[in-house]
Amino acid sequence: MIQPPATLGLLGGGQLGRYFVEAAQGMGYAVWVLDPDPASPAGRVAARHVCQAFDDPDALQALAGACEVITTEFENIPRAAVEWLDAHACLRPGPRALTVAQDRLEEKAFLGEIGVAVAPWQAVPAGLTPEVQTDAGAPDFPAILKTARLGYDGKGQVRLAAAGELPAAHAELGQVDCVLESRVELERELSVLVARTADGATEAFPVAENTHRDGILHLTRVPARAGDEVRERATAIARHVAERLDYQGVLAVEFFLTADGELLVNEIAPRPHNSGHYSLDACTVSQFEQQVRAVCALGLAPALLTAPVAMVNLLGDLWPAGGSPDWRGVLAAGRARLHLYGKAEARPGRKMGHVNVLGLPGEDDATAVASTAETLWQGLASAGGEGEA
Ligand code: ATP
Ligand code: MG
């Protein structure tokens, strides 16, 4: 057990890291953040911001020397750095979870090995574009070609209507290693956050229901519109993935729910997740405090919903040129909590903050809060540069 006032290390310094730092510091720890961005949101609130590349040997040495445990808020840490840290420090989650989650080919293969269903897929290796497979289990069309590495928020993806489009799509992505997968007809998208400790204890957060716009998470509502059986199945799959990775920390599992009730895992993230931000205001523990508890082996807290909630993301598109949105509408909505990440520069698609809209304790449906969150977002969108409403 790693007790305060120990120093903890964090790989990555975005908003997920900022919340981890705040949770850990609130519990009496100090946190060192490694991130090459001088304006890193987490670095700015950490006890120390090591502003170096993720594979800088001196930076890794400094982190290993100072921190009793090192965790991550970002999966795309170079493999050699992950392995060095695992050998010279206490890294949680460990290298296996990080390497599986940073490569869609490894991720799909791993999920298949442990008996978890995914959308039909095939590998499209770097270089020469292969034929589209036709055997049973092969992807069909429409399909999506995704880069195996470094994709996020729907970047590095091309949609294909027919097999003949594969060479051009692969060229568009620079002919790097890719995964070709069937486009699933979605009934809903769900996600589950599960925390696990070294002794095998797990604690899952309530299932979240997610809506995307342009490949980026837009709105999360909890409880999800899914029956008990589906929710229990999704939670069991998330626990199974965590167990098979011998996971330590907080793990996110994204699901597709099909019209015939099948649950397919889309992808996993070895860290807290945007779709878990609702836990900051509507759970008995936040995903970030739970991450501190899991990696420090403090014991997990029950993750229970205290009120129905809807979270809506605030992307840079909402920022008028050179200015900032007018927050009065959000602030005046009594059950809305405004969260901003302190990023100086707003760019289209950049996650700048979010709003959690809370229902009343005892209500068991998120329809009203989801519609309030959408209305608040529409108000910002129509006033901002985009005018998408
Ligand atoms: P993020 O980092 O935001 O999770 P990402 O870049 O890793 O995004 P994915 O999660 O693979 O990308 O895809 C983003 C979204 O695109 C999904 O949540 C879903 O809405 C849609 N999508 C991706 N793959 C499929 C598919 N096979 N069938 C249907 N929709 C899909
Ligand atoms: Mg995703």
Q: Could you read off the pLDDT of 139-158 as tens digits, one per residue?
A: 999 999 999 998 777 789 99
CB of 120 sitting under 6 A from ligand 1? no
Per-residue DSSP letters for 69-127?
EEEES-S---HHHHHHHHHHS-BSS-HHHHHHHT-HHHHHHHHHHTT-----EEEE-SS
Percent of the chain, pLDDT > 70?
98
CB of 181 sitting under 6 A from ligand 1? yes
Q: How far is the CA of 155 from the centre of ligand 1 (A)?
A: 9
Contact (CB, 8 A) for 29 and 7: yes
Place of tokens 């519109």: 225
Read off the pLDDT band of 385 (50, 70, 90): low
Ligand nearest to the CA of 273: 1
- Overall size of the chain counted in residues: 389
> Which contacts qualify for 210-218: CB closer than 8 Å, 24 or more apart?
210/254, 210/275, 212/154, 214/154, 214/349, 215/153, 215/154, 215/155, 215/157, 216/153, 216/154, 216/313, 216/315, 216/349, 217/153, 217/274, 217/275, 217/313, 218/312, 218/313, 218/377
| Residue ranges of the chain that CATH labels 3.30.470.20 | 186-384
Kindly state the greatest CA–CA separation across the chain. Answer: 59
CB of 151 sitting under 6 A from ligand 1? yes
User: Does the pLDDT at position 386 exceed 70?
Assistant: no
Tens of pLDDT, residues 106-141: 999 999 999 999 999 999 999 987 888 888 789 999
Read off the pLDDT band of 357 (50, 70, 90): very high
Q: How far is the CA of 252 from the centre of ligand 2 (A)?
A: 10
Q: How far is the CA of 153 from the centre of ligand 2 (A)?
A: 7
Q: Using CA atoms of 81, 201, 224, 312 in order, give the dihedral in degrees to the nearest 10.
A: -40
Which residue, by CA, sits nearest to atom 1 of ligand 1? 153
CATH of 7-91 given 3.40.50.300, 3.40.640.10, 3.30.70.20, 3.40.50.20: 3.40.50.20
| Residue ranges of the chain that CATH labels 3.30.1490.20 | 120-182
CB of 189 sitting under 6 A from ligand 1? yes
Per-residue DSSP letters for 134-175?
-STT---SSEEEEESSS--TTTTEEEESSGGGHHHHHHHTTT
Tens of pLDDT, residues 15-51: 999 999 999 999 999 999 999 999 999 999 999 999 9
Q: By CB neighbour count within 10 A (0-12 exposed, 13-18 middle, 19+ buried), where does 361 fall?
A: exposed
Nearest-CA neighbor of 229 among 260, 261, 202? 261
Q: Strand, coil or helix: what is 217?
A: strand
Tens of pLDDT, residues 328-346: 999 999 899 999 999 989 9
Helix 15-26 × helix 287-295 angle, to 10° = 70
CB of 119 sitting under 6 A from ligand 1? yes
Q: Give the ligand 1 atom nearest the CA of 184.
A: 28
Which of the listed residues 266, 267, 268, 350 should we mutate to test ligand 1's pocket, taking the one with most ligand atoms within 8 A of CB? 266
Ligand nearest to the CA of 150: 1
Q: Give the ligand 1 atom nearest the CA of 146.
A: 11
Q: How far is the CA of 218 from the centre of ligand 2 (A)?
A: 12
Fold entry, domain 186-384: D-amino Acid Aminotransferase; Chain A, domain 1 (3.30.470)
H-assigned helices in the chain = 15-26, 57-66, 79-88, 95-101, 104-113, 166-172, 228-244, 279-282, 287-295, 328-332, 367-383
CB of 9 sitting under 6 A from ligand 1? no
Q: What is the mean pLDDT of residues 48-69?
A: 98
Which residue, by CA, sits nearest to atom 2 of ligand 1? 152
For residue 127, the cross-strand partners are none
Q: Using CA atoms of 374, 377, 378, 383 in order, give the dihedral in degrees to the nearest 10.
A: 170
Nearest-CA neighbor of 63 among 45, 47, 79? 47
CB of 183 sitting under 6 A from ligand 1? yes
Q: How far is the CA of 331 from the centre of ligand 1 (A)?
A: 31
- pTM (predicted TM-score): 0.96
* Domain 120-182 listed as CATH 3.90.870.10: no
Q: By CB neighbour count within 10 A (0-12 exposed, 13-18 middle, 19+ buried), where does 253 fall?
A: buried
Q: Give the ligand 1 atom nearest the CA of 119.
A: 27
CB of 268 sitting under 6 A from ligand 1? no
Q: How far is the CA of 49 from the centre of ligand 2 (A)?
A: 28
CB of 107 sitting under 6 A from ligand 1? no
CB of 186 sitting under 6 A from ligand 1? yes
User: Does the pLDDT at position 388 exceed 70?
Assistant: no
User: Does the pLDDT at position 380 exceed 60?
Assistant: yes
User: Can you tell me the distance from the alpha carbon of 207 to that of 189, in angstroms, rounded to the nearest whole number?
Assistant: 10
Sign of CA dihedral 217, 188, 137, 168: negative
CB of 152 sitting under 6 A from ligand 1? yes
Q: Strand, coil or helix: what is 298?
A: coil
274 token code pair? 């945007």
Q: How far is the CA of 295 from the centre of ligand 1 (A)?
A: 28
Q: How far is the CA of 153 from the centre of ligand 1 (A)?
A: 8
CB of 215 sitting under 6 A from ligand 1? yes
CB of 263 sitting under 6 A from ligand 1? no
| Residue ranges of the chain that CATH labels 3.40.50.20 | 7-91
Give the Å distances, CA to CA, from 283 to 90, 204, 278, 280, 371: 29, 12, 8, 7, 20
